[in-house]
Amino acid sequence: MVVLYFIPREFFVFLLGQDFIHVKTVMMYLSPGILFISFATIISHYFAGLGKQRILLIANSCGLLTTISVSRYLIAKDQLLGASYSACLSYFVATIILVAFFLKKISLI
């Protein structure tokens, strides 16, 4: 994400065309969500290796419910950035649930 920050917006326009002028802005707003989902993927692999798919189902279902419940409002309010907010919030919820299960599993909670 740091590298993306330093790439000028004009580069994306040159590479992809005028319709993609907001790609950098959207990616920057998605960057927290990308970090959340990356962290969640590590924990997901841990639970998948243990055969605990039920935990993954719970966390991802909560993320889905978050998306369903907030996306209509956020997209109507902020359009493309609202969709970014919705995705980040969904990833955050799923990550927090996975972390809670993980901490419980290793007896820290």
Kindly state the helix (H) or strand (E) to which residue 104 belongs, with its residue range: helix 53-105
Mean pLDDT of 33-39: 94
Q: Which three-class secondary structure state does DSSP give residue 8? A: coil
Domain that holds residue 9: 2-105
What pLDDT was estimated at residue 1?
79
- With a CB cutoff of 8 Å and minimum separation 6, the contacts of 75 are 82, 83, 86
What pLDDT was estimated at residue 100?
96
Q: Domain count of the chain? A: 1
Quickly state the pLDDT bin for 4 (edges 50, 70, 90): confident
pLDDT digits (tens, 9 = 90+) for 38-96: 999 999 999 999 999 999 999 999 999 999 999 999 999 999 999 999 999 999 999 99
pTM of the model: 0.84
